[in-house]
Amino acid sequence: MSAAGEHVEQQAQQEQQEQASPETEARVRESFGRQGLMAHLGARITRIAPGRVHIELPGRPEVTQQHGYFHAGATSAIADSAGGYAAFTLFPEGTDVLTVEYKVNLLAPAVGDHLEAVGTVLKAGRTLTVCRLEVFGVRDGRRGLVASGQQTLIRVNPA
């Protein structure tokens, strides 16, 4: 196996070992459950780790555009939520998260049985946090990158 292949394998093993605390996972899932858009789209969280969240969006006609690809709005929405909740996993209890800005590049037509958005914290700060956003089209267990972006989030205290 090449050095690059070993690095990818080691990274995958490390990610599998990292899990958010039960309290953090409950806080993330409770907040996600209050998102009307994610429920409307049929999205669900599939993985929560410190600084990393995966969201899956099953394919169905309601989330496609006129050519049958996943709609850019649905693709971007799950990317935004994945990044937001990745940041939220690192925030203290009693705080909340809002998106300040995000940019998504659509790299390929979003096709597959489902989409998987992965939000990963790049830099966590006291006020602002920056995340990498990736969205993969998944078909028969094979993932292909369809969108990539970056996001800035702000930690807020509920009013």
| Domain residue spans of the chain | 3-156
Q: Model's pTM, two decimal places?
A: 0.88
Compute the distance between CA of residue 24 and CA of residue 52 in angstroms, rounded to an integer.
12
pLDDT in tens, 40-92: 999 999 999 999 999 999 999 999 999 999 999 999 999 999 999 999 999 99
How high is the pLDDT of residue 8? 45
- Which CATH number applies to 3-156? 3.10.129.10
